[in-house]
Structure 1
């Protein structure tokens, strides 16, 4: 190896012997994961085919589950003896430290009560508000202003609009702020669309983009402790809502898809993303959105099957577009659907198998609407309350172990 600055060689033909890497090896994380996986597999664990960071061991009706994040392990079970056996196996192979019941992990705080578990990022949100200097700013009722059209500087030059909207001198400030907000969406689905929409301007952000991002922070300031509430007692039924905003992007005219999936009354999955292709009609945009959420439902059903959780069939899929529902159920619409990719039509196969049942929902009650567009304050608040989010609460005398509640 090359001698570090300040060191001298003892001779012309002398070299250094590498005892330990100074900055880590490029393959270190991969090798660590391979070694950990090998140790768990030898201990009788099975690696999930649906989530490779998940390991499950079943024995005589008992089960222990491990979720791996680099060198941190989250463990739950329905038998304490299996936990003790697992700790012994890990002690033999690695140096481990038992941190007790899960309370704080990767910036996410876990609060427990008899009703369920609340996942929130209160401290993380407060740090964002403090770093942006908006501690005393007026709160915003919604993440984005309704009907506000944001575009890149290049697009504004072409259409000759907003010429006075200048580029930011230091775009790194905008990029860092968007990065922190993206991580906050892990427990805040109510800002998912706003953050996803603003993240597409990170290459050349303008002053209007920065103002819109600061509005998101002011919205977070309204309820910084808002988070995902997972109920202790839930129906084992997957219910999904999907929606799209047709041709909403002024630059590419692409639609935005959004969905949210509930297990009983608890929100467990959500997404907001611009579609890859231009849809010729709103029905086509909704149909593509249905195909995306169908993939998510198939994955979740497979994951629950590995965890020995029986999910009711068929899984319900709610959409507010009757034309899209008819296309999914009836393959006769040839002229309207012949240009759509074949992989989108697999939703019909899942409906025929009885895995999914589609139903119509009024637009006013479409929960996924909050994932596709900026709404008015009244409608936004209405949908957020339906999603299953709750404010920060403290229950020191009602804390229960996360393993106990999951086993329920």
Structure 2
């Protein structure tokens, strides 16, 4: 149908521009379609249904664990159910909330503390937190720090992970809001703490990118 695959995301396909723009996001057999022209969406759905017999689930509400709510002010994305599932699985549903995802000034290293007898629980928790960063940039740095120790986690690393859970408990439904606006100015903010890692002397770099008032990309990386 003339769609072009995105160079930055192999799951994204786009076609046309302005009012004739159509975007298709594909994950295995889950498909998300967006366009300012509903007739273009209907045409695409008819084409796909003729080829694969698709099931139309209607307007976007829940997609791959991400909850979407639209109103006149804009679009809100969150992972409240997913966050609550993590808290329930780890026994932190009734925990005391924390005001920050990490203790200020905390530095984690390999070999700190006693090795965990079951490291798989730590790996699973960090993996689930990584997916939660899809709508929670506020835990991106803490999760990046925790992910460095999945090979040999200790009780100190697990306590730091539990701190993130206590922070999530404070507002499990927190997410990202994309306001309706005509502003399309691209703004990028970045920062680095040079050679701060005591083990490798490498830096931690963080950035966030806004299109207008909407946060569209972010990362925290060594």
Query: Which runs of structure 2 are paired with 1:3-82 in the superposition (5 Å)?
Result: 43-58=1-16, 62-82=20-40
Matched, 1:140 2:140: no
The separation in 2 between residues aligned to 1:181 and 1:173, in whole angstroms, is 12
Following TM superposition, by how much is the alpha carbon of 1:272 offset from its aligned partner in structure 2, in angstroms? 0.4
| Alignment deviations for residues 44-95 of structure 1 (CA, whole Å, 9 cap, x no partner) | 3333344332223338952322111122111112222222221221122112
In 1, are the aligned partners of 2:19 and 2:36 still within 8 Å (CA)? Answer: no
Following TM superposition, by how much is the alpha carbon of 1:233 offset from its aligned partner in structure 2, in angstroms? 1.1
Partner of 1:175: 123
Task: Give the number of the structure whose residues are more often helix, by fraction.
Answer: 1
Query: Which runs of structure 2 are paired with 1:338-357 in the superposition (5 Å)?
Result: none
The separation in 2 between residues aligned to 1:47 and 1:124, in whole angstroms, is 29
Partner of 2:69: 111
| Higher RCO (C-alpha under 8 Å, 6+ residues apart) | 1
Matched, 1:201 2:181: no
Larger radius of gyration: 1
Structure 1 moving runs of 4+ over 6 Å: none
What is the aligned length?
222
Name whichever of 114-123 and 128-137 sits farther off.
Answer: 128-137
Q: Return the TM-score normalized by structure 2.
A: 0.94
Q: Return the TM-score normalized by structure 1.
A: 0.52
Task: Give the number of the structure whose residues are more often strand, by fraction.
Answer: 2
- In structure 1, list runs of 5 or more residues that go unmatched: 1-42, 157-164, 275-408
1:236 aligned to which of 147, 159, 184: 184
The separation in 1 between residues aligned to 2:60 and 2:149, in whole angstroms, is 37
In 2, are the aligned partners of 1:234 and 1:265 still within 8 Å (CA)? Answer: no
Partner of 1:96: 54
Structure 1 vs Structure 2 CA RMSD: 1.6
Partner of 1:84: 42
In 2, are the aligned partners of 1:234 and 1:266 still within 8 Å (CA)? Answer: no
